[in-house]
Amino acid sequence: MTGQVFFTEFLKLRRSRITWLTTLAFSLMPLGCGLFMWIVREPGRAAALGLLGTKASFMGLEATWTGYIGMIIQAVGVIGLLLLSVIASYLFGREYSERTAKNMMALPIARHWFVAAKLTVAFAWFGAIIAICLAETFIVGSALGLPGLSSGIALRGAGEILLAAGVSFLLMPVTAWIATLGKGYLPPLGFAILTLVLGTVLGATGWGKWFPWSIVPLFAGTAGPRAETLAPGSLIVVFLTFAAGIAATIGQLRWSDNTQ
């Protein structure tokens, strides 16, 4: 029976349009970063683009593999958090918006299995998107002929992209809890915007390394100077947040009343 729960969740994902829409939307990100690299490398043509060219020059970008991968890490860190909020909203909030929560809760299955199944689907969904993004990053960078590529830079860049994505995923269970608590799509999306703002603000202070939603922006470099590594204390905070989010989501499903 528990295997059927996992199979059903994956089946619902395969039949959903949002799976392909999110993949398509996120796949545009390496192309956008590549466009900035092209603008920086071609200042004459960039001038014809007006404000876009001025902005790219003002940001101090360098048309190198290091600069390009740095932009990808920033995008994965920020856009990845928003994407995961959409994933959590869909997987957990839709059960209430589409009034199927009563059917889920009526099944003779421990409710933690539903949480495990949905988180597994979220991991596969987000992981596939990141894998596509990673492959596209190196394809676009190679097509642009960016200088400075070496095996060390490639491996380190891929590892940092995966680390930014992994830390972002570990924060998702809290958003899933908000979706079950708010019984719909909007509360987790609002929570995602709130934490993104707070994470950016607190990231500029000394408290950033202790606030879960500041850790990703700090590592990505969107909340001040980029932290090249994550401090052990920050990793502990992230894993504790992950565990707390799972526990809260399971508890919400196990003890909440279904009023549908």
Is the residue at 111 inside a domain? yes
DSSP-assigned letter for residue 92: I
Half-sphere exposure (CA, 13 Å, Cβ side) for 219?
Answer: 29
Phi and psi for 99 in degrees, rounded to 5? 60, 40
Number of domains in the chain: 1
Is the residue at 51 inside a domain? no
The CA R_g of the chain, rounded to the nearest whole Å, is 20
Helix H segments across the chain?
Answer: 2-14, 17-41, 43-47, 51-58, 65-88, 94-97, 101-106, 112-144, 151-170, 172-182, 186-203, 212-220, 232-255
- pLDDT per position in the chain (260 positions), as tens? 567 777 777 777 777 788 889 999 999 999 999 988 888 887 766 566 655 555 555 556 778 998 899 889 988 988 999 999 999 998 888 777 666 666 666 665 777 888 888 999 999 999 999 999 999 999 999 999 999 888 899 999 999 899 889 999 999 999 999 998 888 888 888 999 999 888 888 877 778 888 999 888 888 766 555 666 677 888 899 999 999 999 999 998 887 655 54
Is the residue at 44 inside a domain? no
Is the residue at 70 inside a domain? yes
Measured CA to CA in angstroms, residue 5 lies from 107, 113, 252 at distances of: 10, 7, 19
Domain hosting residue 155, numbered range: 2-24+63-255
The CB density around residue 249, as the number of other CB atoms within 10 Å, is 27
Burial of residue 44 (number of CB atoms within 10 Å: 0-12, 13-18, 19+): exposed
Place of tokens 């642009």: 144
